[in-house]
Structure 1
Amino acid sequence: MKNSNTVKKRVLHPRNLHHGSYDFTQLCAVCPQLSPLVIHNPNGQPTIDFSDHQAVLILNQALLKCFYKIDFWKIPQGYLCPPIPGRADYIHYLADLLAQSGNGEVPTGKQVKVLDIGTGANCIYPIIGSQSYGWSFVATDIDPVSIKIADLIVKSNRNLTPFIKLLLQKNSNAIFDGIIKKQDKFSLTICNPPFHASMEQALAGNSRKVNNLSKGKKVANDGLNFGGQENELCCVGGEIAFLTQMCKESRSYGQQVYWFSSLVSKSENISPLKKLLAELGAKQVRVVNMAQGQKISRLLAWSFQQQSSLLSN
């Protein structure tokens, strides 16, 4: 098997359904609202204005309908609208992790139970994971509006309702505490943690992104092209503080969860987190590098077990 830690720039996971350029003819056929938003780049190829939040939202609707059979997917203005190919990569690399931990085959079906920390209004990881592998999800968030909208998405799509349960985290200072009950067992936990320490940092980062996407063209944009509420983008101390807390909390649930995992945006955070996990007694730690377009990211996974029966329960 090819080492999943070795990836080339702009290369998605082999099982990712979103390789290559978007087929806008196919996408517009399933989502006609996308048609008037399609433009052409300097090479004459069809695309959209990725600095336009509404265009990104409708592109996502088209992708979800075309590839995951999702007929209804709407999120409120200002909520995080995720880039789907990159989110799918996280799911597929976690599937490989489970395969490597088992008999070499990717486990499918509802017996694979996954906990999504901070699912947001978009509920994107449970959608992709349930429709790609048939996994069952408990999806949590501290924001009641996010839970309400995600629950509406699930209940509006019959192919989602058997697989996804929404749960409000009532303690905004906790991650797993209050969510994982004594009887719960999970094969995986997943998370896309808050990246910034403040909304000022988030807006500054978005301005740089918009300028890159617009190729230097002046863009009137006072918000975030991919959206995002403060709790989705920021926490006190930024990414490293959030993940430090996650690692510390995870030890208490080490026999109920086989693999804990999270995306890690800043490469410099990997080393201190690995050191912390060693101090906490983690028996397995994996870092998987991923690349989508110009973006390089990585997932960190850890387990307090050498092997587990959770994959076959």
Structure 2
Amino acid sequence: MPSNNNRKRKKRERPTIHPKNKYSDNPPDFALLASLYPSFQPYVFYSRNGRPTIDWTDFNATRELTRVLLLHDHGLKWWIPDGQLCPTVPNRSNYIHWIEDLLLSEIIPKTNASGDNVRGFDIGTGANCIYPLLGASLLGWSFVGSDITDVALEWAERNVKDNPHISELIEIRKVERGNDTLSVENSHDGKSHCCESKLDLTENVGIEGKPFSSSYDLRAGVNKSYYGPPVLLGVVKDGEKFDFCMCNPPFFETIEEAGLNPKTSCGGTPEEMVCPGGEMAFITRIIEDSSILKHTFRWYTTMLGRKLNLKFLISKLWEVGVTIVKTTEFVQGQTCRWGLAWSFVPPARKIISPHVAEKNNLSFMLEGIERQYSAINVLESIKSFFCTSGASCNLNTSLFTVDITASNDHYKAILKSEEPHCDRAASCEDVQDTSITSSCLNLPKDKLCFRISVFQQTPGTLLVRGSLKQADSKISGAFSLILKRLEEVLRHKFCREKTTVYPS
């Protein structure tokens, strides 16, 4: 029977805050902030374990925390009136950095002539205007932020004007309701709780960047159609081009559902938190608008509050003809949100089939890569793997390749290197095959030159290919075992699950 420790190791690790997030290594220090900002001090108290904290059910406390974090860490002046949705800065920063990753990945080419000037569109920016403020201050992006209510528009404009160093980068645009209106039942009291809920309303379903069956079973009797003001169509002007859009949609179908969690209170108006059909209907409208606008945006993105909705929405995306779909998970403390991104732009980097047969190539797939790692991390680790043995390495981050020149002694050093620790019996069995003496490997007499290339596949999956540079070279036993050793090292360092080897 497996031990408790083994069971713990097999349990999937929970994703963490984005590594680029300012608070990844330095969480907010409430005691320090209280000493620097007297207005925040009354809201800070010490828990039983001696840690400074605040009352998360107190809207004034959460608002003041957001204010001082934006001022202290981002140099932004900010305020919202009572009742408006108060965002959490670390969580919103996660979303910004995920979009940054999408834009830097160059999976799809740029579609505008603005050069390095990134332009975003924030659907429903709110009085807080948090995404344009963070995107402009952190990365110099320009934004259009849209909204429908007079209060949201007024305070978003104030928050932009109060920060003149970035005000020219942000435009606040009013959405005309037209004939359609957003009807919200039972919302007359205007009281609600934050949609940054710690209440788990999700189901554990697997998500891959592949088409799903369109027969996803929606909850019976619930209207998932969106009836409300324009979202993108009718708001985006003719001829405009954007690198991305983003959205923190209304998560809930009723105001009662929005107030289920008594542990937090970040405000939020009915317009910000509720629409008929909830986030499913609202995001479906974004998808429908995107299918018409298509290349107007390089990336369409949105946040979700319920993981169970991803299956239907991804299925919908494939139905409307997108070229790529990506997902992620945003984590802040006990709160989880999910990100969904898609594009109609043809991929710039062709996805390589792992079954292509060439006499001088070997490849393996890295699947289940932890979200904090990117292809460049894997590439740098490949270089380190070969440099440790003394081999000559040349890293090309533009082509995502490492060129290696290795001698007989280098091969021996690699094969004699310490094997990675194995958490699973199956992994250890794979490694045991590499424990063969060098005398049996038909090691090359001369130096061997080869290239290791990394190719983007689906989200969380990379193809790693080793190619001998000599056109007439044939794969030797040593080269096969070295690629297998490399696979074990990369899998142990970057992946949640076991990889699959494909001879090619």
Scaled to the shorter chain, the TM-score interval is 0.7 to 0.9
Name which of 252, 256, 267 aligns with 1:196.
Answer: 252
Name which of 288, 296, 301 aligns with 2:336.
Answer: 296
| Superposition pairs of residues 40-55 of structure 1, within 5 angstroms | 40-55=46-61
- The answer to whether the Cα contact below 8 Å between 2:143 and 2:169 also exists between their aligned partners in 1 is yes
- The answer to whether the Cα contact below 8 Å between 2:120 and 2:242 also exists between their aligned partners in 1 is yes
- The answer to whether the Cα contact below 8 Å between 2:43 and 2:54 also exists between their aligned partners in 1 is yes
Whole-Å Cα distance in 1 between the matches of residues 46 and 36 of structure 2? 20
Whole-Å Cα distance in 2 between the matches of residues 258 and 30 of structure 1? 42
Name which of 136, 148, 173 aligns with 2:229.
Answer: 173
Give how far 1:159 is off.
Answer: 2.1
Q: How many residues align?
A: 282
Whole-Å Cα distance in 1 between the matches of residues 108 and 285 of structure 2? 32
Partner of 2:275: 235
| Superposition pairs of residues 34-113 of structure 1, within 5 angstroms | 34-71=40-77, 73-101=78-106, 111-113=117-119
Give how far 1:110 is off.
Answer: 7.2
Whole-Å Cα distance in 2 between the matches of residues 131 and 281 of structure 1? 35
Using a 3 Å threshold, how does the CA distance of structure 1 residues 116 and 8 change in structure 2: closer, same or farther?
Answer: farther
- The answer to whether the Cα contact below 8 Å between 1:113 and 1:136 also exists between their aligned partners in 2 is yes
Using a 3 Å threshold, how does the CA distance of structure 1 residues 8 and 27 change in structure 2: closer, same or farther?
Answer: farther
Q: Describe the superposition over 1:10-56 as per-residue Cα deviations: whole angstroms up to 9, x where unpaired.
A: 72111111235421344235422011211001111111111111011
Name which of 151, 154, 157 aligns with 1:151.
Answer: 157
Partner of 1:267: 307
Whole-Å Cα distance in 1 between the matches of residues 130 and 299 of structure 2? 20
- The answer to whether the Cα contact below 8 Å between 1:114 and 1:137 also exists between their aligned partners in 2 is yes
Whole-Å Cα distance in 1 between the matches of residues 116 and 85 of structure 2? 27
Give how far 1:59 is off.
Answer: 0.7
Partner of 1:246: 286
Whole-Å Cα distance in 2 between the matches of residues 163 and 280 of structure 1? 32
- The answer to whether the Cα contact below 8 Å between 1:8 and 1:291 also exists between their aligned partners in 2 is no
- The answer to whether the Cα contact below 8 Å between 2:108 and 2:347 also exists between their aligned partners in 1 is no
Partner of 2:169: 163
- The answer to whether the Cα contact below 8 Å between 1:247 and 1:277 also exists between their aligned partners in 2 is yes
**Counterpart amino acid of 1:183?**
G
Using a 3 Å threshold, how does the CA distance of structure 1 residues 158 and 29 change in structure 2: closer, same or farther?
Answer: farther
Q: Describe the superposition over 1:109-147 as per-residue Cα deviations: whole angstroms up to 9, x where unpaired.
A: 971000000110000111111111100000001112101
Partner of 1:255: 295
Whole-Å Cα distance in 1 between the matches of residues 107 and 231 of structure 2? 27
- The answer to whether the Cα contact below 8 Å between 1:10 and 1:294 also exists between their aligned partners in 2 is no
Whole-Å Cα distance in 1 between the matches of residues 15 and 321 of structure 2? 35
Whole-Å Cα distance in 2 between the matches of residues 234 and 195 of structure 1? 6
Higher helix share: 1
- The answer to whether the Cα contact below 8 Å between 1:10 and 1:292 also exists between their aligned partners in 2 is no
Unaligned runs of 5+ in 2: 1-11, 178-227, 349-504
- Taking structure 2 as the reference length, the TM-score comes to 0.54
Whole-Å Cα distance in 1 between the matches of residues 235 and 85 of structure 2? 23
Using a 3 Å threshold, how does the CA distance of structure 1 residues 103 and 202 change in structure 2: closer, same or farther?
Answer: closer
Unaligned runs of 5+ in 1: 1-6, 211-224, 309-313
Give how far 1:307 is off.
Answer: 4.5
**Counterpart amino acid of 1:164?**
I
Partner of 1:221: none
**Counterpart amino acid of 1:78?**
G
RMSD: 2.1
Partner of 1:4: none
**Counterpart amino acid of 2:240?**
D
- Taking structure 1 as the reference length, the TM-score comes to 0.85
- The answer to whether the Cα contact below 8 Å between 2:96 and 2:131 also exists between their aligned partners in 1 is yes
Give how far 1:265 is off.
Answer: 1.2
Runs of 4+ in structure 1 deviating by more than 6 angstroms, as ranges, are none
Secondary structure in 1 matching 2:290? helix
Q: Describe the superposition over 1:128-187 as per-residue Cα deviations: whole angstroms up to 9, x where unpaired.
A: 111111000000011121011010111111123121110011134210012111221000
Name which of 240, 262, 273 aligns with 1:184.
Answer: 240
Name which of 7, 21, 24 aligns with 1:16.
Answer: 21
- The answer to whether the Cα contact below 8 Å between 2:242 and 2:297 also exists between their aligned partners in 1 is yes
Same amino acid, percent of matched pairs? 36
Give how far 1:102 is off.
Answer: 6.0
Using a 3 Å threshold, how does the CA distance of structure 1 residues 258 and 14 change in structure 2: closer, same or farther?
Answer: same
Whole-Å Cα distance in 2 between the matches of residues 82 and 145 of structure 1? 16
- The answer to whether the Cα contact below 8 Å between 1:109 and 1:135 also exists between their aligned partners in 2 is no
Structure label with greater radius of gyration: 2
Whole-Å Cα distance in 1 between the matches of residues 146 and 104 of structure 2? 25
- The answer to whether the Cα contact below 8 Å between 2:31 and 2:52 also exists between their aligned partners in 1 is no
**Counterpart amino acid of 1:242?**
F
